[in-house]
Amino acid sequence: MKNLLLILLLALLLVSCAANRTNKDLSEYSNVLSANYYTFAEAALEQKDYKTAIKLYQKAEEAAPENLYIKETLMRTLAFGARMDDKLNEKIISLGNKFYKQEIYSSEILLILAEAYIKLENYEKAEFFFKQSIKEEANMDNLASYYSFLSNENSIQDSSLIKQAIELPWKSELKVLRLAHFLGEFNSPKKLEVLKKVYEKWNNISGLKALLRYLEEHEEYEEIIKTISQRIDNGEELSPPMKTYYIGRLFYLKQYSKIISLRDMCLDIGNEQILKYLFVAAVKEERYELAIFVGNSLESLGDIPEKFKPTFYSSFAKLYIKTGQVQKAVDSLLKIKSLSSLEDMILIDMKLNEVKPAMELVISKYQKEVDNKNFAYYLASLYYTEISNDEKALNYLDRLPNDFILENHLSMIIASSYIANAKNIQKAQELIEEFINNNETIDDSIEEIITDLIFHSGADSLGYRYLKKNLQTMLNPSSTMFIYYSSIAESHETISEIIPILEKGVQLYPKDPDLLNAYAYLLVENEVHSKYNLAEQMLLKATEIKPESGMIWDSLAWLFFRQNKLDKALGAMEIPLKEKMKHSEIAYHLGEIYLGLNKLEKAEHYYKLSIELNNHEKTVERSKKQLKKYFKK
């Protein structure tokens, strides 16, 4: 009898202790049995024995069917288990519907039920229980899940519930970020406000990434720089990929000095991309020793793709030349097997007169050490052409065999050099003729190509003689040849001598708007009053063919000005006024028109703009005279 009493006493003590250890929420509608099951379920859960925990929670729920807290815990555990075992979704749906019919449920239970229906692809039921969950209690959890569901179904209609959720207390960064994502579809500025507050509240990488992603999408690059800079200044965590991204954004914004100030960070990370940014920044800021150090680091990584090596070594050679390291410059050049990279070394970003002694030593040594001497001759010809040493340039040009020129597609650039250095049209013509014979796709005539080369070389006297001869003797010279001729002929002959040649051009090409414009403008500029009607006809025709051309409309406006039709002149300037002003000539014409209309402030503005643009000598001088005459400046 005593033993039986002892066993009963121990049993009561165990149950009492178990009940005391359970959550206070069990007290309502619970009993000793349900509390006992609940306690053992908790112990199983601590041991990660989910199957046993679920069974025990279910027994606890059956023992206390009115206890909502036990039901929530059971459903929560089932939802967690369903991540590993899809079959548990059916259990969730069975119990969830049972609790719903009993009218013993919470917002959380209904949310878990809705998410289980999604996994079973019953979207109608899922939406029903999402709405019931929100109706029971709108909170961050169910609203974030509901809008994720709607987003997948492409059926988000409004943002009222999102706005409501955002105002609730923030407990989960992930859920706030999800809601912010949906909010952005309706209110982008509000999304940015939320993202900034998330980052401020949690101050971690995930919040930073979300904020930067928004700023990137909206091209708020300065704000990106500001945000990351503050984090760096505060000594806060920043991953190597984020640092690389930051340096990349600085590079995009051409903040080279800022990149150099972060050289230690760049070198610590030391990946290829960030070293490239630092290398270019050092070159741009003329920190040549740093650039050489970083370049050596890049080379030591061994990750430079073959196709980029010529450009890389060309840049290196320039750095060594600028720092007077002749042999190292030659060593870099010897690694280049691309003529275009040799061209870049001479033609791009090199102030040749400042490095002349070192450059000439490099050329001399390179010529001795390189296997293919034609590479050295070509490099030397480019260099001496650029510094206008015609004699030395021709000396090296004459050494280049035609096979080498054709094989490397150098005909145009060598022909241009002969025109620039020796005014040798005959030699240029031979090269171009051979080039055309070896390229069936070339449609332009030899004369057109030479005209273009002469025009771009700035050899006006040579161009005038060449064009005059060919325009008089050729049956069908191109319209371009006539246009070039109109731009340079005034310096060499009278307008009465020019007109017959341009009339021939207009007869051959009556629908070429640029030729019509060139001839008409020449007539207006030289005040050939007897041909103003012809000029107007040509310009009106040209505007019909090419209505977007500001240059043609400017010519028409200038004709109206010459005829004292000032209102029509200003009206014709509508398109040039809409464009960004690039030409001194057009700015001067506007100054004259506004002066004629007594709009002095605008007249002064355009005279000054003409001088500032400074790309047409004659009209710049005219603008200066008008400012002095009418504005005492």
CB atoms within 10 A of CB 187: 14
**How open is the CA angle 359-363-364, to the nearest 5 degrees?**
115
CA-closest candidate to residue 115, choices 136, 133, 140: 133
**How open is the CA angle 456-457-461, to the nearest 5 degrees?**
105
Q: Cα separations (Å) of 110 from 118, 132, 283? A: 13, 7, 63
Q: Cα separations (Å) of 28 from 22, 34, 281, 357? A: 12, 11, 70, 96
Structure tokens at 400: 């280049």
For residue 80, what pLDDT is reported?
93
Rounded Cα gap, residues 625 and 633, in angstroms? 9
CA-closest candidate to residue 501, choices 548, 527, 469, 538: 469
For residue 20, what pLDDT is reported?
44
Structure tokens at 189: 């500025």
Rounded Cα gap, residues 130 and 430, in angstroms? 83
3-state secondary structure 266-314: HHHHCCHHHHHHHHHHHHHCCCHHHHHHHHHHHHHHCCCCHHHHHHHHH
CA-closest candidate to residue 450, choices 487, 477, 485, 415: 415
* pTM reported for the whole predicted model: 0.61
For 425, phi and psi rounded to 5 degrees? -70, -35
For residue 2, what pLDDT is reported?
40
Element (H, E) at 405: helix 402-407
Torsion sign, CA atoms 34, 39, 40, 42 = positive
Instruction: Tell me the average confidence (pLDDT) per consecutive run of 10 residues in the chain, 633 residues long.
Output: 34 39 53 89 91 93 92 94 92 95 94 94 93 90 84 70 82 86 82 92 92 92 93 90 94 95 94 93 94 92 82 89 93 89 79 84 93 93 87 91 89 85 82 81 83 81 89 91 92 93 96 97 95 97 96 97 96 93 95 96 95 93 94 79
Amino acid identity, position 558: W
Residue 135, class by beta-carbon neighbours within 10 Å (0-12 exposed, 13-18 middle, 19+ buried)?
Answer: exposed
For 564, phi and psi rounded to 5 degrees? 65, 30
Structure tokens at 623: 């603008």
